Amino acid sequence: MKLEIENLSVTLENRNILERVSLQVEEGEFLSLLGPSGCGKTTLLKTVAGILTPNSGSIRLGGEEITRLPPHKRGVVILFQDIRLFPHMTAAENVAFPLKMQGIGRKERLRSEEHTSELQSH
């Protein structure tokens, strides 16, 4: 799915982190963000995922404007380097949680959880 970011600016704690960032990632392309700590890589990813709100600019995914959509309606997933599991859920429930957020029914999720449990036992 094509990702288009146009003139994206993000300010955190009165500090400009991203200023007028624009880029396009075509469907099937692979993109790596490289740079020193604090240069804005995570801020960009969190903004695309909807965790952070930009001051200005736009984000389109598959041609759809998603800049103001809440995170659970974007169809975007961010995976952090460190572990961010829900402590009140089992490992299988944590894995199945994105499926729940996408509206996949309990029966289908449980089948996915069972498959995950089978993989864990091998």
Task: Share the mean pLDDT of the chain.
Answer: 86
* pLDDT (0 to 100) of residue 97: 81
Give the pLDDT mean for 40-56. 95
CATH class name, domain 3-73:
alpha beta
90 with 77: CB under 8 angstroms? no
E strand map for the chain: 3-12, 15-25, 56-61, 64-65
6 with 57: CB under 8 angstroms? yes
Three-state DSSP class for 98?
helix
96 with 116: CB under 8 angstroms? yes
- Is residue 115 pLDDT above 60, yes or no? no
- Which has more pLDDT, 39 or 89? 39
Summarised one tens digit per residue, pLDDT across range 50-84 is 999 999 999 999 999 999 999 988 988 777 766 67
